[in-house]
Chain A
Amino acid sequence: AQSVTQLDSQVPVFEEAPVELRCNYSSSVSVYLFWYVQYPNQGLQLLLKYLSGSTLVKGINGFEAEFNKSQTSFHLRKPSVHISDTAEYFCAASTGRRALTFGSGTRLQVQP
């Protein structure tokens, strides 16, 4: 069965610092990869997705992620975070016809 592992449950970072949220997946076939963000008391919002092609994917709010097939990773990065980026971030994967499998989430806490 497919699985998604988010290696950090919480990531504290100071405002304007860079951040990386780590995600690893397990799949022996082609996989679609996603990052979602969940603000308090809200649903999940799509940040970016990787389907094929360029391994560097740019998303909304200045986020980007890099697909690394040999490492089976899809880490999310932002060069300079804002207070408003404080939220829960979920990595998700699918092999296509299967529903998205989500990781356990990483809470990003941006401090002033």
Chain B
Amino acid sequence: DSGVTQTPKHLITATGQRVTLRCSPRSGDLSVYWYQQSLDQGLQFLIQYYNGEERAKGNILERFSAQQFPDLHSELNLSSLELGDSALYFCASSVGVEANYGYTFGSGTRLTVV
């Protein structure tokens, strides 16, 4: 157990729907990162939050949004889902805002859009 908790582990939904993925960071970590892993794109950085504030954006679509709450858990919202959104979504956490601490990853949420 890495200490980063992601729920649900699996999600199957239809095109056009909206889903919410949840992440609880490792105790003491203030940064949360979201990554998308797909066969054709590899691991793509989506967004980073640090202590409740958005810090960096990567290749995140406008249909996707995220937030980090006062208790530091984070949610990734995916709307108007398309078949191409099917992927593994990872959450990672770290102590600080910089990458030198390294990230601790959760086990991921596998999203299947049908």
Chain A CB within 10 Å, residue with most, of B33, B100, B104: B100
A43 pairs with B100, CB closer than 8 A: no
Query: Could you mark each residue 90-114 of chain B with 1 if its beta carbon is under 8 Å from any beta carbon of chain A, else 0?
Result: 1010000111101111111000000
Chain B 71-99, CB-CB to A under 8 Å as 1, else 0, gives 00000000000000000001010000111
Question: Across the interface, which residues of B come within 8 angstroms of A94, CB to CB?
Answer: 98-100
Within the complex, which residue of B58, B102, B107 is in contact with A43, where a contact is CB–CB below 8 Å?
B107
Contact with B along A81-112 (1 / 0, CB 8 A): 00000000010001011111111110000000
Given the known A-B contacts A43-B4, A43-B90, A102-B42, are A97 and B98 also in contact in the complex, defined by CB atoms under 8 Å? Answer: yes
Interface string of A39-56 (1 = CB under 8 A from B): 001111110010100000
Interface size in chain A (residues, C-beta < 8 A): 23
Q: For chain B, residues 15 to 67, give those with C-beta under 8 angstroms from any C-beta of chain A.
A: 33, 35, 42-43, 45, 48, 56, 58
What residues make up the interface of A, taking CB atoms closer than 8 Å to B? 32, 34, 36, 41-46, 49, 51, 90, 94, 96-105
Nearest 5 A/B pairs, CB to CB: A94-B99, A43-B105, A102-B43, A44-B105, A43-B107
| 30 residue pairs from A and B, CB less than 8 Å apart | A32-B100, A41-B107, A42-B107, A43-B90, A43-B106, A43-B107, A43-B108, A44-B92, A44-B105, A46-B104, A49-B100, A51-B100, A90-B43, A94-B98, A94-B99, A96-B99, A97-B56, A97-B97, A97-B99, A99-B33, A99-B45, A99-B56, A99-B58, A99-B99, A100-B45, A100-B103, A101-B45, A102-B42, A105-B42, A105-B43
